[in-house]
Amino acid sequence: MANHRSLIVLSFLFIFINSAMAKAVTYSVTTLGAKPDGKTDSTMAFLSAWAKACASVKPPVIYVPAGRFLLRNAVFSGPCKNSHITFRIAGTLVAPSDYRVIGNAGNWLLFQHVNGVTISGGILDGQGTGLWACKNSGNSCPSGATTLSFSDSNNIVVKGLVSLNSQMFHIVVNGCHNVNMQGVKVSASGNSPNTDGIHVQMSSGVTILNSKISTGDDCVSIGPGTSNLWIENLACGPGHGISIGSLGKDLKEDGVQNVTVKTVTFTNTQNGVRIKSWGRASTGFARNILFQHCVMNNVQNPVVVDQKYCPDNKGCPGQVSGVKISDVTYEESAM
């Protein structure tokens, strides 16, 4: 009997120790020096929080309280010692108002080689209006930074995030597997150049749900190497619609397959659903595509298949597109 009681006590002790080890540890960026005044450069505090979270064997939370936090371009790199890192954002992350500071960096906030990262809530303010004005004036300008990028990463969740006025693309998913985005809101002017809402390429198992995208370019753009993409319950507009492509820019190129776009409302957009490829030889393809339950409100071109894509008609190849398009279904849509 005594041995039996000892075993019970040891079992409870083992469960308690494991529970304590599994309990999340929180790193607040303000504790590490970040200032919520929108003026003080808080980049190093955020990187310090990431370094601690990445090195933690317990599931960590990086907490960003209310306020405005100024960040230059930052890279959050893995691999990490755990696969459950949460960025819980109650405040706003602000890019430098001078677009030249990060304009040639490529990315403002980049997550690379990570596994199991969740970004919950918060606002990302790219402050891109100055760069848009520069580009629209025809002057020589930086190309611009993507607000939020995930590269070569797996098991990513983005929920309840707002992206405002990105210099260039708002969110990019590149070389990733199993990415879930829910309740994302993207907002930029209808005349903001190259501000795609969400761009996916060389990735599989990506879902985009219950989101609203208003921008000056594609609401969602789907690049080469994308497979098993699911988009549902999306509001798009203004913008250029949802585009597969452009494809066929390179001779040897991975194709796009198994894409579902359903229950999407397009309002005041240039296009609805579009497939676009360059007029040149290519191994690329687009197949097994379903557009279902799409509603078009004041859409200039509800359905587009363009195999001689050439923006601004400059440097057009003028050849026959090698991109093979097959098994594309348009179902129960209202125009």
Across all residues in the chain, what is the average pLDDT? 93
Cβ–Cβ contacts within 10 Å for residue 20, how many? Answer: 9
The 10s digit of each residue's pLDDT in 52-99 is 999 999 999 999 999 999 999 999 999 999 999 999 999 999 999 999
Cis preceding linkage at 79, omega within 30? yes
Q: Are 61 and 25 in contact (CB under 8 A)?
A: yes
- Contact of 188 with 218, CB cutoff 8 Å: no
**Contact (CB, 8 A) for 328 and 286:** yes
Q: Is 240 a catalytic residue?
A: yes
| Helix and strand element counts for the chain (H, E) | 3, 26
pLDDT (tens digit per residue) in 135-156? 999 889 999 999 999 999 999 9
This prediction has a pTM of 0.93
If pLDDT is split at 50, 70 and 90, which confidence band does 24 have?
A: confident
Q: How far apart are CA 68 and CA 30, in angstroms?
A: 11
Quick check: helix, strand or coil at residue 237? coil
Per-residue b or e along 125-161, where b marks 16 or more CB atoms closer than 10 Å to that residue's CB: bbbbebbbebbeeeeebbebbbbbbbbebbbbebbeb
Residue 294's Cβ-side half-sphere holds a number of Cα atoms within 13 Å equal to 25
Which residues face 174 on adjacent strands? 151, 201
217 carries an active-site annotation: yes
C-alpha angle 315-317-320 in degrees, rounded to nearest 5: 155
Neighbours of 74 (CB within 10 A): 19
Q: What are phi and psi of 14, to 5 degrees?
A: -65, -45
Tell me if 48 sits within 8 A of 32, measured CB to CB: yes
Check residue 294 and give its pLDDT: 98
Catalytically annotated residue among 125, 196, 217, 218: 217
